[in-house]
Structure 1
Amino acid sequence: MSQAISDYPTTGSALRRASLRLDASWRQVLRAPLVLGLLVVLALQLVLALFLSRGASMAPAATDITLLSFEPEQIATIRIDAGEGDASVTLTRGEAGWVLPELGDFPASGTRIDQLLDSLAALRRPLPVATSAAARTRFRVADDDFERRLTLRGKDGDIRTLIVGDSPGFRRLFARLDGEDAIYDLRLALFDLSAEADDWVSRDQLRLDRERITRVAGPDWTLRRDEAGNWQLQDQVKPPAEAVVGDLLTTLSALSYRGVLGLEEQPAHGLETPLLTLDIELADGSGRRYRIGELEAGEDYALRVGTTGPVYRLAAFDLGGLLDLSLARLAEPAQDGEEKNLPPST
Structure 2
Amino acid sequence: MSRPMDRQRLGQLLIAGGIAAALLAGAAATLVLQAQRNWQPEVSGPVLPGWTQTVADAREIEIAGPEDHFTLVRGENGWTMPSRDDHPVIPERLAELDAFLGGLSYAGARTADPAKHARLELADPGQPGAGTRLTLRDGDGNVLTEIIIGAARNDRVYLRFPDRPRTYAAELTGEAATIPAISLADNWLNLDFIALDPSDIARTTITPERGPAYVLERPGQTARNFSLREPGGWRPITAGAGNGPAAALVRIRFRDVRLADRLHGEPAGRHVEETFSGLRLTLDILALGDTRWTTVTATALTDGGAEKAAEINARTAGWAYLLSDLSLDRLLRPLDEIADHMGASDASEPADDSGQ
TM-score, normalised via structure 2 length:
0.51
Aligned pair partner of 1:90 in 72, 88, 98: 72
Q: 1:116 to 1:227 in 2, by over 3 A?
A: same
The equivalent residue for 1:3 is none
Between Structure 1 and Structure 2, how many residues are aligned? 253
Measure how far apart 1:243 and its partner are.
2.2
Deviations 1:215-243 (A, max 9, x none): 21123211233246544432459985432
* Inter-partner Cα distance in structure 1 for 2:214 and 2:151: 58
1:324 aligns to what SS in structure 2? coil
Residue 195 (structure 2) pairs with residue 202 (structure 1): no
Taking the aligned partners of 2:161 and 2:245, their CA distance within structure 1 comes to 48
Cα gap change, 1:66 to 1:164, in 2 (>3 Å)? closer
Alignment map for 1:301-340 (pairs within 5 Å): 301-306=292-297, 308-326=317-335, 329-330=338-339
- Give the share of equivalent positions with the same residue, in percent: 20
> Which is richer in strand?
2
SS at match of 1:234: strand
**CA 1:172–1:216 in 2, change beyond 3 Å: closer, same or farther?**
same
Of 232-241 and 204-213, more deviation after overlay is shown by 232-241
Q: What residue in structure 2 maps to residue 286 of structure 1? A: 279
- Point out the structure with max Rg over C-alpha: 1
Deviation of residue 149 (structure 1)? 4.1
Q: Residue 256 of structure 1 corresponds to which residue in structure 2?
A: 253
For residue 277 of structure 1, what is the aligned residue in structure 2? 270
Aligned to 1:234: 229
What residue ranges of structure 1 are gaps of 5+ in the alignment?
A: 1-55, 131-138, 334-339
Matched position secondary structure for 2:192: coil
TM (norm. structure 1) is 0.52
- One-letter amino acid matched to 1:67: L
**Which of residues 102, 107, 121 is equivalent to 1:121?**
102
How many Å apart are 1:160 and its aligned residue?
5.1
Q: Describe the SS at the equivalent of 1:63.
A: coil
Counterpart of 1:175?
A: 161
For residues 1-346 of structure 1, the aligned pairs below 5 Å read: 59=42, 62-70=43-51, 79-82=61-64, 88-90=70-72, 100=81, 103=84, 106=87, 108-109=89-90, 112-125=93-106, 126=108, 148-151=133-136, 161-164=145-148, 172-175=158-161, 184-185=167-168, 194=183, 197-219=185-207, 220-227=213-220, 229-230=222-223, 231-235=226-230, 236=232, 240=236, 241-267=238-264, 271-274=265-268, 276-296=269-289, 298=290, 300-306=291-297, 308-326=317-335, 329-330=338-339
In 1: Cα distance, 2:214 partner to 2:334 partner: 10
Post-superposition CA distance 1:193-229 (Å, at most 9, x none): 53x6334212312332222322211232112332465
TM-aligned CA distance change 1:311 to 1:168, over 3 Å: closer
| 2:146 alignment partner AA | L
Amino acid paired to 1:283: F
Task: Pick 1 or 2: higher relative contact order, CA cutoff 8 A, min separation 6.
Answer: 2
